[in-house]
Amino acid sequence: MTQARHLTVAEGQQAFYHCVTRCVRRAWLCGIDPITKVDYEHRKPMIAARIVQLAGIFAVDVYSYAVMSNHLHVVLSVEPSAARDWTEEQVAERWVQLFPAREPEQNAAKISALIVDKDALEERRKRLANLSWYMRCLDEHIARKANAEDDVTGRFWEGRFKCQLLDDEAALAAAMTYVDLNPVRAGIAGSIESSDHTSIQKRAEDLRNNPSKADSPLMPIAGVRLGIAVFKSDTFARLAMSNRQYIELVDFTGRQIKPGKRGKIDEREPTALRKLGLEPEQWTGHVKGIGSGYWRLVASVEALEAKAAEWKRQWLKGIGYARSLVTR
């Protein structure tokens, strides 16, 4: 049964999401098209840069991303409280960054006009803290660029983006890890260091360039809370692990999913796993479930059952999968 988007994406509420958007039919987003042999690899930096750029405009935090051949993943949080704290000038300036005037010298007038129109300004404030508007500004930008390059018109994306609500800290960590390991699982990359245009590669590079940050708290890749070292969300305490611990966790998980893969750390259970309170096999199953075991909600058995009752459903996809993990 189709599930209404508003059940998992509540407007005006802080929450964490895993979003996936895929090209229509066999359209090629990046890389070398196996049929036409046209190379679209140059699009990947543009798409990764757009994900980060939008995080600096919207009231969101981006935790991980991966740009693949015909789809992309983003794990992010929506932060309405940040948007509510913006001044009228900040809201107007951010909106005009998204939709500038035809001529650059007209942007100041457009900002002033928006500030005067209070109703329109407050509507823009809501949109800047809206998941669908973030994904719209991401997907539409990419589609226009790709269609212009290919000299075609029409639909580029396969309908609306797919979205999973991440209910707890383990769900957030699992979704991040699933996304960061996408190129490794697909056989495109042999390690997280060679996983081009992913957040884990960026985190690893940042750590090599700044070793002193290894034990600093794990932060979003980009967004409104990037400069805050310790904070609480309205939903749950955010990831209680360091940069080093997260990279070790992703590397460890990649070797569990691909046992023959050599890693840089030994087989001991990562510290981050102990903090999440999960056994290695249970954790690996949790990560794999992001792709197929769960559906609209990634959560514990109890939380899934409670949500099914709240939505007046006798069954919710993912409950059986979550139960199977508990018995491992």
Tell me: the pLDDT tens digits for 122-175?
999 999 999 999 999 999 998 888 888 888 888 888 878 899 999 999 999 999
The pTM is what?
0.89
Residue 288, token pair as written in the block? 């794999």
What is the pLDDT, as a whole number, of residue 269?
74
Q: Which residues contact 20 (CB under 8 A, 6 or more apart)?
A: 71, 72, 73, 161, 162, 163
Selection from 221, 198, 218 nearest residue 61 by Cα: 221
Q: What is the mean pLDDT of the chain?
A: 86
* Least confident residue range of 45-49, 105-109, 201-205, 276-280: 276-280
Residue 39, token pair as written in the block? 């190379």
Alpha carbons 74 and 60: distance in angstroms, whole number? 11
What is the pLDDT, as a whole number, of residue 11?
84
Instruction: Please tell us whether the domain made up of 13-84+130-292 is placed in CATH 3.30.70.1290.
Output: yes
> 200, 64 in Cβ contact below 8 A?
yes
Q: Which residues contact 199 (CB under 8 A, 6 or more apart)?
A: 62, 63, 64, 65, 66, 176, 179, 180, 221
Distances (CA, A) of 149 to 38, 278, 283: 12, 47, 42
Tell me: the pLDDT tens digits for 226-281?
655 444 445 555 788 999 999 999 988 988 876 554 444 345 678 888 888 888 88
Selection from 42, 39, 48, 40 nearest residue 67 by Cα: 48
Tell me: the pLDDT tens digits for 21-44?
988 856 667 767 777 777 777 888
Q: Would you kindly state where each structural domain of the chain is located, as residue ranges?
A: 13-84+130-292, 87-127
